[in-house]
Chains A and B, each alone.
Chain A
Amino acid sequence: KAGVTQTPRYLIKTRGQQVTLSCSPISGHRSVSWYQQTPGQGLQFLFEYFSETQRNKGNFPGRFSGRQFSNSRSEMNVSTLELGDSALYLCASSGAQGGNTEAFFGQGTRLTVV
């Protein structure tokens, strides 16, 4: 079974630009969550999508948004990039059905804002 796939693995963007990251969950999983990882703040929850609907949201500004497609693939978008947005962005998928709700992470997308 293929794991969680995130693309691209690395990105360099200029301040003020926008960026879109992609996440393909494990086959059959319907929940996709996004996290930002930085040395200073650790792993912080951005949002979660389930069946194409945002179900949970963290404490990030509106510049951070996401969506989920009918095949459960998800994208997150960051507009008007700031230097502080440089981070590893991780997505996690889970089965979200019954008791099998373990979350499995992808390798992440390393975003550098210059």
Chain B
Amino acid sequence: GENVEQHPSTLSVQEGDSAVIKCTYSDSASNYFPWYKQELGKGPQLIIDIRSNVGEKKDQRIAVTLNKTAKHFSLHITETQPEDSAVYFCAGRRGGTSYGKLTFGQGTILTVHP
């Protein structure tokens, strides 16, 4: 079945620095890759996603890149702020009738120091 590996498990940066989180997936049928941010006591919040027909997508300080050949995708956060501190999860999903099933990475605890 699908497996998603996420690295690093923890990431500590200074405010204003960039942060990069990487994921690899095993299922070549996966075609949708969302990223979620989860703050303490809350459910995961969708922050950005990318589909397999696109190599890069950007939304203000957040960007995601996808390399289908290598089966990996990355989250890039620029000009980090303390409020970016949270747990970030990547996920993969097949198309068709499997689009209700996300396979998640293990999560990255991001800490942004003021």
Contacts from A to B (Cβ < 8 Å): 4, 6, 31-33, 35, 42-45, 48-50, 55-56, 58, 90, 92, 94, 96, 101-108
How far, in Å, is A111 (CB) from chain B's closest CB? 14
What is the number of contacts between chain A and chain B, taking CB atoms within 8 Å? Answer: 64
Are B46 and A104 interface neighbours, CB within 8 A?
yes
CA distance A77 to B114 in the complex (A): 44
Are B100 and A48 interface neighbours, CB within 8 A?
yes
Are B43 and A55 interface neighbours, CB within 8 A?
no
Instruction: Contacts A43-B89, A43-B107, A45-B101 known; list 16 others, CB within 8 Å.
Output: A6-B43, A31-B100, A33-B102, A35-B104, A43-B91, A50-B100, A56-B97, A56-B101, A58-B101, A90-B44, A92-B102, A94-B99, A102-B34, A103-B46, A103-B100, A105-B45
| In the complex with contacts A42-B106, A43-B89, A102-B49, A107-B42 CB distance below 8 A | yes
Number of interface residues, chain B, beta carbon within 8 A = 23
Contacts from B to A (Cβ < 8 Å): 32, 34, 36, 41-46, 49, 89, 91, 97-107
B49: chain A residues at CB < 8 Å are 102
Which of A49, A101, A105, A106 meets B99, CB within 8 Å?
Answer: A101
The binding surface of chain A is classed by DSSP as strand
B42: chain A residues at CB < 8 Å are 107
Closest chain B residue, CB of each to CB of A58: B101
How far, in Å, is B59 (CB) from chain A's closest CB? 13
